[in-house]
Amino acid sequence: MTNNKGKVSVENTKATSNNKSNGNFGKQGWIFIIYGMLTFFITTAVSDSINNLSLPAFCEKYGWNYANLLSLRSIYGWVTIILMVIFGHLLHRRSAKRGAMIIGVIYAICLFIYPHITTSTQFMVFFFFLAVIATVWPQQFNAIITSNWFPRKKGAVIGWTTIGLPIGSGFGIVIYSALSGNIGMVGTHYIYAAITLACVIICAFFVSDYPEQKGCYPDNDKTMTREEAEKDLKEGIELSKNSIWTNNRLLKTKEVWLVSISCGIMALFATGVMAQMMPRLLDLGYPQQMAIIMMTVAALLGGVGSVVVGIIDSHFGPKKTIIFCTCNRHCCMCTSGGAFSSFIDRK
C-alpha cells in the first residue's frame, strides 16, 4: 500500500471477520478458483510431461540431443522474465481477462500441433510458447484478476488455485503415461488441448476483470451497497491509469527488490525440487513404481499444504507466512538427505 506521496507503507494485514471466512468466496468466486486450479494443473502437467516423456521420445525417434534441447528451458526462463515485465506494463491499462483468453487459445493451438513436429527447430518454437505461457498465464494474468476480485482474501484464494500446481506435477506424468499408452502421444495432447480450451471457455463466460462486472463484490463483501461498489470500481480504475508507480520508480524502491529476490528464490527452490524429484529418486535407486507413488503422495500433501498456507496467510499476513514456510522448507532440506540414505540402506 502507498500513501498520497507515494512512499511505501505497511498495510495492516490482520483480517477482518469477513476476511477470515476463507470459504466465503461466493459462487462466481469459486468458479474462478476452479478455473485457476485447472490452468495451474494443465500447464504444470504439460511442462513435466514434455521434459520427462515426450522430449525423450522425440530424441530417440529423430536422433536429437536431449540435453541441448532441455537446456532451452533455462534460456526461455530468462526470456519469460523479460516478457512478464512487458506484459505487466501492458496489463496496467488493458484487460487481464482478454489477455488470459488469448494466450490460452495460443497454448491450445500449440498443444494440437506439438505432437506432429518433426524437426528440432519446430520443437524449439513450440516449446518456447508452451514454456512461456505456462508461467505467465496462471502466475501473472490470473494473479491480476485474483487481486481485483479478492484484495483481502487473495492469500486464501491463491492457496486454493495453486492446488493445481503440485497435483499437475505429481499426477501429470502418471496421467500422460496412462493416456499415451492407450491413445498415443497425439491423442494425449489433444486431450490436454481440450482441457485448455475448457479453461478458456470458463474464463470467457464466468470470469471478469472485476467482480462488479459480474454483479459481485470485492472479497464477496455484501455489506457495501451496489452503488458503493460501482463507485469504488470507477475510482480504482482511474487511480490505476494515473498510478505513480512507473517502472523507474519500482526499480528504485528497495522493497520491490527485497520481495522479488526473496520470493524468486523460493519459487526457484519449489520449481527445481518438483522438476528434479523423479530423476533424483531414480538416481537414488528407487524403482520407478515406488518413485511414482512418492511423487503422488507428495502431490496430495502439497495440495493440502497449499490450502493450509493460504489460510495461514489470510490470518497472519504474507510476511509471517513466508518466514514460516521458509523455515519449514529448510528443515525438510536438512533432514531429507539422511532420510533417503537410511531408507536405501535398509532396502
- Note the pLDDT tens digit of each residue in 192-240: 999 999 999 999 999 999 998 888 888 888 887 778 878 877 777 777 7
Which residues form the domain of 32?
Answer: 26-209+244-346
Residue 239 lies in a domain: no
Per-residue model confidence (pLDDT) at position 195: 95
- Tell me the mean pLDDT in the region 323-327: 83
Domain assignment present for residue 274? The answer is: yes
pLDDT tens, 19-30?
444 568 888 999
For residue 285, the model assigns a pLDDT of 83
Give the pLDDT confidence score for residue 181 in this predicted structure: 86
**Residue 315 is assigned to a structural domain of this protein:** yes
Confidence at 262, pLDDT banded by 50, 70, 90: confident
How far is the C-alpha of 332 from the C-alpha of 327, rounded, in Å? 9
Average pLDDT value over all residues in the chain: 82
Q: 12 lies in a domain?
A: no
Apex 211 CA angle, 209 and 217, nearest 5: 160
Q: Tell me, what CATH number does 163's domain have?
A: 1.20.1250.20
pLDDT digits (tens, 9 = 90+) for 63-78: 999 888 888 888 988 8
CA 15, distance to chain mean position in Å, is 24
Q: Please, what is the Cα angle at 29 between 27 and 35, to 5 degrees? A: 105
Which range is most confident: 123-127, 156-160, 247-251, 293-297? 123-127
In a domain, 341, yes or no: yes
Classified as helix, coil or strand, 157 is: helix
pTM of the model: 0.82
Q: What is the mean pLDDT of residues 320-333?
A: 80
The four Cα atoms 72, 75, 77, 82 give a dihedral, to 10 degrees, of: -140
pLDDT on residue 125: 94
Q: At what angle do helices 318-346 and 254-283 cross, to 10 degrees?
A: 20
Look up residue 264 and give its three cell numbers: 524468486
Task: Tell me the β-bridge partners of 2.
Answer: 8
Q: How far apart are CA 16 and CA 25, in angstroms?
A: 15
When pLDDT is averaged across residues 59-63 and rounded to a whole number, the result is: 90
Mean per-residue pLDDT, 265-284: 73
Residue 64 belongs to a domain:
yes
Q: What percent of the chain is predicted at pLDDT more than 90? A: 28
Higher model confidence: residue 279 or residue 307? 307
Examine the pLDDT at 169 and tell me if it is beyond 70: yes
Instruction: Check residue 119 and give left, alpha or beta (phi > 0: left; psi -120 to 50: alpha).
Output: beta
At residue 3, does pLDDT exceed 90? no
C-alpha–C-alpha distance, residues 344 and 294, integer Å: 14
pLDDT band with cut points at 50, 70 and 90 for residue 291: confident
Within-domain flag for 79: yes
The amino acid sitting at 286 is: Y
Q: Note whether 9 and 2 are within 8 A (CB).
A: yes
Exposure b/e, 78-102, CB count within 10 A at least 16 = b: eebeebeeebeeebeeebbbebbbe
At residue 198, the pLDDT reads 96
Pair 152, 318: CB distance under 8 Å: no
Structural domain contains residue 258: yes
**Residues in the chain, overall count:** 347
Are residues 143 and 39 in contact, defined by beta-carbon separation less than 8 angstroms? no
Domain tally for the chain? 1
Query: What integer is the mean pLDDT of 319-343?
Result: 69
How many whole angstroms separate alpha carbon 81 and alpha carbon 142?
16
Is the pLDDT higher at 282 or at 78?
78
| Three cell numbers, residue 340 | 533417503
* Residue tagged 481440450 (cell numbers): 194
